[in-house]
Amino acid sequence: MARYLVTGGAGYVGSHLVLALIERGEEVVVLDNLRQGHRAAVPPEARLVVGEVGEPALLREVFSGPRFDAVFHFAALSLVGESMREPLRYCAENVANSLRLAEAAVRAGCRKFVLSSTAALFGDPERVPIDEEARLAPTSAYGESKLMVERGLEWADRVHGLRSACLRYFNAAGADPAGRIGEDHEPETHLIPLAIGAALGTRPPLTVFGADYPTPDGTCIRDYVHVSDLADAHIRVLNLLEERSVRYNLGNGTGYSVRQVIETVERIGGRPVPHSYGPRRAGDPAVLVASSERIRRETGWAPRFGALDDIVRTAWAWHAAHPRGFADRSA
């Protein structure tokens, strides 16, 4: 049995990894401040430590037990829009917390670090699909903060031999196919939960941000990738970290427009998605689609929920069963 630390393990993507690790019989410690995360998202088999990743005394305590085989780092500020109002807070917190955590890992003799990174590293890309050779040019402070963390981790590798995997997710979506956990953000800014909420009547009608993009139907195109597939990728990279650090873009490689997502939600849910058209949202690139050839080739990763229908079906099931998210689950 291996022992893992998962920061942000009570959050959306982190909790799906925790579940996957527990199912494999691993020992898991979750460190989460529960500001975005949910206690009910953490399975009872995992130990939950409530606190801040950037708190040195807490880090010393967390790392004082038996050595972790790897650290998975999800805890971060992650709202692109908010990062443009508070860029210094985003850079300061995300960078300092991540690198303090890496420092604690090095000091404790842990040699593997997996970072939750983002497509926001690529800003407005020159070409799609976006592979790992694409220019790193964030257009938000959020993306910049993750790029700074990736760079810090390169130095940790060179100097301390801390091997890292930086996984740049495109649009994380969907929910545990067994229906145990799912997406519950406050505020919610992501398209799929907002569209489903509008259809269920638990959220206001959706506003489509712009229909004048240079795409076939005028709305933005994104690459939606299932959270359980993301969790699987985190586990697959561990072996490679014996040898070297890696950087991977993670998506399905297929883009869907906002209109296509709405149509899919309507078809799967059997209800209309009330919506209207509004202006563009600042900073939204027209098309973001990943090339994940590298991780497929080097780890054998392949999405199990590659079809948008499957992603939306699992998300719909979660939201329909838990209209108030985890508040309904723990009730």
**Is 209 near ligand UFG (CB under 6 A)?**
yes
**Which residue from 29, 75, 76, 80 is in contact with ligand UFG, where contact means CB under 6 A?**
80
**Is 95 near ligand UFG (CB under 6 A)?**
no
Give the separation between CA 69 and CA 60, rounded to whole angstroms. Answer: 16
**Is 291 near ligand UFG (CB under 6 A)?**
no
Q: Is 276 exposed, middle or buried (0-12, 13-18, 19+ CB in 10 A)?
A: exposed
What three-state secondary structure class fits 111? coil
Please, which of residues 21-60 interact with ligand UFG by CB under 6 A? Answer: none
Smallest gap, in angstroms, from Cβ of residue 159 to ligand UFG?
Answer: 29
CA 118 to chain centre: 7
| Identity of the amino acid at 88 | L
Q: Which is nearer to ligand UFG, 112 or 275 (CB)?
A: 275
Smallest gap, in angstroms, from Cβ of residue 202 to ligand UFG?
Answer: 14
**Which residue from 62, 75, 220, 289 is in contact with ligand UFG, where contact means CB under 6 A?**
220
User: Residue 256's beta-bridge partner residues?
Assistant: 222
Q: Give me the active site residues, please.
A: 142
Give the separation between CA 170 and CA 255, rounded to whole angstroms. Answer: 10
**Which residue from 130, 206, 225, 238 is in contact with ligand UFG, where contact means CB under 6 A?**
206
Q: 184-192: which pairs have CB atoms within 8 A and are 24 or more residues apart?
A: 184/12, 184/38, 184/41, 184/322, 184/325, 184/326, 185/12, 185/36, 186/36, 187/79, 189/79, 189/81, 191/222, 191/258, 191/261, 192/224, 192/261, 192/265, 192/311, 192/312, 192/315
Smallest gap, in angstroms, from Cβ of residue 45 to ligand UFG?
Answer: 29
**Which residue from 75, 162, 231, 258 is in contact with ligand UFG, where contact means CB under 6 A?**
258
**Which residue from 194, 225, 289, 317 is in contact with ligand UFG, where contact means CB under 6 A?**
194
Cβ–Cβ under 8 Å, residues 167 and 237:
yes
Q: Is 288 exposed, middle or buried (0-12, 13-18, 19+ CB in 10 A)?
A: buried
Q: Which is nearer to ligand UFG, 100 or 190 (CB)?
A: 190
309 phi, psi to nearest 5 deg = -55, -45
Query: Could you give the dihedral angle defined by the CA atoms of residues 113, 118, 123 and 127, in that order, rounded to the nearest 10 degrees?
Result: 100
**Which residue from 15, 97, 118, 292 is in contact with ligand UFG, where contact means CB under 6 A?**
118
Cβ–Cβ under 8 Å, residues 303 and 290:
no
Give the separation between CA 246 and CA 163, rounded to whole angstroms. Answer: 8
Closest CB to ligand UFG: residue number: 220
Q: Which range in 24-32, 47-55, 112-120, 293-301 contacts ligand UFG by CB under 6 A? A: 112-120
**Is 198 near ligand UFG (CB under 6 A)?**
no
159 Cβ contact list (under 8 Å, min separation 6):
none
Site map for ligand UFG, 173-192, x if CB under 6 A?
Answer: ----------------xxx-
**Is 62 near ligand UFG (CB under 6 A)?**
no
**Is 239 near ligand UFG (CB under 6 A)?**
no
**Which residue from 6, 41, 104, 120 is in contact with ligand UFG, where contact means CB under 6 A?**
120
Q: Which is nearer to ligand UFG, 71 or 288 (CB)?
A: 288
**Is 203 near ligand UFG (CB under 6 A)?**
no
**Is 241 near ligand UFG (CB under 6 A)?**
no
Residues that bind ligand UFG (CB under 6 A): 78, 80, 118-120, 142, 171, 189-191, 194, 206-209, 220, 222, 258, 281, 284, 288
